[in-house]
Amino acid sequence: MQASSQEALIATRYISAVLEEFGVKDICARVESDIPLAAGLGSSAAIVVASLGAINQHFGLGLSRDEIASQAYRIEKRVQDGFGSQMDTALATYGGYRLVSTRVEPIDLPEMEIVVGYTERPHDTRSEVQKVQSIRKRYPDVVDPIFQAIGAISGKAVRLIQDGKLEELGGLMNLNHGLLEAIGVSTRELNELVYAARGAGRALGAKLTGAGGGGCIISLPSPGNSEYLLIAIEQARGKAFCVRTGCQGLRMEE
């Protein structure tokens, strides 16, 4: 993907933070990525983890995978002024599936195909998180139950994936999107892609992903219906592509 000057600047911030952390100078770093930046897909975490892995290998630092995950989370959080996600850096490091709460634990789930829809409108994680925090501070009795419902959905989703109950999983995705919209993090563009995916795209479920305010949705196709989803999202003025979950994390290539 050819990066714009703004996207290149975003990537440079994260690489520079990694280089600064280890006092590295006079080195050339190049990023090649198919992940849209500032889109809620963990691109910044992937950049930080990849940069750490490359420096670790090049200079023989001997960092373990656990240490890379921990350092990546701390660095990303610092660049984002305290708003980094441990989930993103953990998944970029370890790959597969991880349950992230007070600890990061692997969970055994089957691969799934998901169709991503990109609004081509970047989001600002910091401003979206601050907006939600402001609403929560004013109306804790309203917002806290929404957070609890979102947590309950995540817990139930694990079992549904394990049991292959995709229709029920899609229903929970739809509920989740509604809850996220209720706290103000969805947008017209995101909603248009969500409803296009559920309608003409025949998705079992669709929801925004990431902090909201722009970026991407994820949608769950019924078996053999990915093509409908791709067409529906494109017709709703989004960019669409398929991904498979549970893939490999950090690896070194020659």
Q: Where are the domains of the chain?
A: 5-106, 113-244
**One fold for both 5-106 and 113-244?**
no
With residue 205 as reference, give the H or E element that holds it: strand 203-209
Report CA-CA distances (Å) from 33 to 77, 124, 224.
21, 20, 28
Q: Quick check: is 163 catalytic? A: no
In the chain, the amino acid numbered 253 is: E
pTM for the complete prediction? Answer: 0.87
CB atoms within 10 A of CB 62: 7
106 phi/psi in degrees, rounded to 5: -75, 145
CATH number of the structural domain 113-244:
3.30.70.890
> Which residues of the chain fall below pLDDT 50?
1-2
Q: Among candidates 62, 10, 57, 56, which has minimal Cα distance to 31?
A: 10
Query: What pLDDT score was predicted for residue 5?
Result: 61
The pLDDT assigned to 102 comes to 75
The verdict on domain 5-106 having CATH code 3.30.230.10 is yes
pLDDT of residue 111: 92
> How many Å apart are CA 15 and CA 55, to the nearest integer?
11
Q: Which residue has the tokens 């910091």?
A: 126
**What pLDDT does residue 216 have?**
95
Catalytically annotated residue among 26, 66, 88, 144: 88
Burial classification of residue 32, based on how many CB atoms lie within 10 Å of its CB (0-12 exposed, 13-18 middle, 19 or more buried)? exposed
Q: What angle do CA 245, 212, 142 make, to 5 degrees?
A: 110
pLDDT at 1: 44
